[in-house]
Amino acid sequence: MKKTIEANEMSVMRLFSVGNEQFIVPVYQRRYLWGKDQWMDLWNDIQNIEVGEDHFLGSIVVINPQHNIEINQFEVVDGQQRLTTLSLLIAALRDSLIQSGGVQEVSIGEALHGYLHSSTMFNKNLPKLIPGKLDRDDFATIVDRKIKEMTNSNMYSAYQFFRGLFSEQNDLVELAKTITGSLKVVLIQVMSHKDAFRLFETLNDRGLSLSAADLIKNYILSKAARTSEDELDDIVETWDEIVELVGQLDHLRFFRQVLLSKTEGVFSFNKLYDRYKTVVDKSDSIVDMVDELKEYAVFYNQICTATTKYPSVNEKLRAINAIGAATSYTLLLKLLKNQVTELQLVSILNQIETFALRRAICSWSTNNLDSIFNHLALNTPVDTSCVEYIKGVLTRADYIPSDADFVANFKTKNFRQDDQCKYILERIEDYHVNFSKEKSIANRSLVHIEHIMPKSIKSNSSKKEYGDWKTYLGNDADLHDVYVNKIGNLTLLGSSLNISASNNPFEEKKKNYEQSLIVMTKQLMNYSKWDIATIQERTENLAGIAAGIWKL
């Protein structure tokens, strides 16, 4: 039985020299994009190869469903930029060798020309690489040595770049040996797009998520390719807009949450490709489907970056993102598509915030979150009752911790210096100013989490930096590690104050706290000492406030 995924390390010579193999970049792939920086990186890699050593360039992933007697065609799904650049490098080296006029040089140049072509018993001089349609003519012009017919293109620039470098070399024969023998790639062959998607998903590399998303695009556009060329061009253009909108966000999460907002049933990431195949196959119009994906991409961007047209909604979205409630995007996508009102959105976001934060504080399992938001996305009424419906689901006793559980866990939780903790402290500060429009924290990036009792008190360096807290605390010093990260030992402080405050014991710190505009920090002036009992007292007080802020 043939392996579904097969990887082989090979030299450039092996990659290009098999006569009946041909690499095809699908017509709907992006055009050649590498520029001078990438070309120079490749050249520097070649220059740094020592005699007898190899250099690994990276991987090329291809789909090879079956071997044919005539010619084996590999569909390139990842690594097309690398493969195209190597082809242009070989073309430039070929022409430089032949131009030099030496017998050996000309012979090697003609051999390299063979590398750029495939041939079988019945077909001669087939191109070894067939780029995407936008680059196909330029590439053929370079490979077929018709450079004079070219005007200007990125491929031509790459070719000229390498020709210029080769013109400065004294021994092109040795250079040819290095390039063909010492440059290595890993050719990864898979049987289908599904196997390629499984490969990218298994690698679990954030940098590869776009490649995995491209496989979904490949399938969509392979269906679209059966339509008119103009329609295909429109779809490719729309897809590029989708990619730009999602940008540096998680592409696979976007595609998964779009489906979860539209179709019933939760599925894992490794089933994403299969689910999209089903959706595409059932679609009456690929154009309409891609247009709808773009609409969702706009909403997804607005959710992740908190940039809707409503400032009040954006404020709540920043809260959702700070506490890590990304699973709720499934519902939010549907709500934005259904054009719910600003007031409804704010109310729903408040409910999601309470739901997500209570569960996070109590360390409840996240396993059922996708199911909950999938249900809400599909079943929430598109009318004025939507807020009450969502509230009814999110406040179910088996979905959200009770007040007693929330308060108990809030008091015992060890908080980290992260966005969630910072947001919790900001909301507690809002409570202290009666949730007025006049926020004491104008720019949250200038405010930091302050440990009142320092994080470290025992080492000589900590004594020098923070003061002798170990002596100050006395017997309580033994409980430092237990209480240092409790909410009662934390506050917010402006960055400029944080630096100076860290060098003072509590009495000296109070002088800086007094200068703060943050009410909860200024209130620390009311404490005559700072010990474990004080931390316990303040923790108890803040837990009660939290229960009122994030109430059921």
pLDDT at 498 over 60: no
Instruction: List phi, psi (to 5°) of 450.
Output: -110, 125
Q: What is the DSSP letter of 459?
A: S
In whole angstroms, what is the distance from residue 156 CA to residue 152 CA?
A: 6
More confidently predicted of 437 and 430: 430
Relative to beta strand 447-451, strand 490-494 is antiparallel
Rounded to an integer, what distance in angstroms lies between the CA atom of residue 448 and that of residue 386?
Answer: 37
Nearest CA to 176 out of 90, 102, 118, 50 is that of: 90
Name the residue type at position 125: N
What is residue 68's predicted lDDT score, i.e. its pLDDT? 63
Question: What is the torsional sign of CA 282, 288, 290, 294?
Answer: negative
Rounded to whole angstroms, how far apart are CA atoms 80 and 352?
43
Mean pLDDT of 284-310: 95
For the chain, give the mean pLDDT: 87
Determine the average pLDDT of the residues in 261-276. Answer: 90
Lookup: tokens for 267: 């599925």
Residue 50 per-residue DSSP state: P
| pLDDT on residue 64 | 82
Q: What tokens does 326 get?
A: 């990304």
Q: Percent of the chain having pLDDT more than 70?
A: 89
Confidence of residue 205 (pLDDT cuts 50, 70, 90): very low
Per-residue pLDDT at 450 exceeds 50: yes
Mean pLDDT for 397-414 is 97
Q: Are 348 and 387 a contacting pair, CB within 8 Å?
A: yes
Task: List, in sequence order, the alpha helices (H) in 285-368.
Answer: 286-305, 311-322, 329-337, 342-361
Q: Give residue 503's pLDDT band: very low, low, confident or very high (50, 70, 90).
A: very low
The string of pLDDT tens digits covering residues 74-110 is 989 888 899 999 999 999 999 999 999 889 999 999 9
Q: Which residues contact 296 (CB under 8 A, 6 or more apart)?
A: 254, 258, 261, 333, 337
Calculate mean pLDDT across residues 505-527: 87
Query: Per the structure block, which two tokens stand in for 131?
Result: 């780029």
Instruction: Calculate the alpha carbon distances from 447 to 116, 228, 465 in Å.
Output: 59, 56, 20
Q: For residue 233, what is the enclosing H or E element?
A: helix 229-246
> 19 — alpha (psi -120 to 50), left (phi > 0) or beta?
alpha
325-374: pLDDT as tens digits: 999 999 999 999 999 999 999 999 999 999 999 999 999 999 999 999 99
Q: Is it the case that residue 198 has pLDDT exceeding 90?
A: no
pLDDT per residue over 367-376, tens digit each? 999 999 999 9
- Residue 156: C-alpha distances to residues 84, 85, 93, 140, 271 (Å): 12, 11, 14, 11, 41
Token pair listed for 79: 């690594």
Residue 437 has pLDDT above 70, yes or no: no
Q: How far apart are CA 351 and CA 131, in angstroms?
A: 51
Q: Which residues pair with 63 in a beta bridge?
A: 75, 190
Per-residue pLDDT at 120: 75
Separation between Cα atoms, residue 170 and residue 167, nearest integer Å: 8
Q: What CA dihedral angle connects 435, 441, 443 and 446, to 10 degrees?
A: -150
Nearest to residue 354, comparing CAs of 318, 395, 304? 395
Q: What is the structure's pLDDT at 204?
A: 46
CA dist., res. 475 & res. 487, Å (int): 21
**Three-state secondary-structure class, residue 552:** coil
Q: Residue 438: is its pLDDT beyond 70?
A: no
CA neighbor of 308 nearest in space, from 342, 351, 260: 342
- pTM for the full model? 0.73
The pLDDT tens digits for 98-153 are 999 889 999 999 999 999 998 877 777 889 999 987 788 889 999 988 876 565 68
Distance CA 9, CA 123 (A): 28
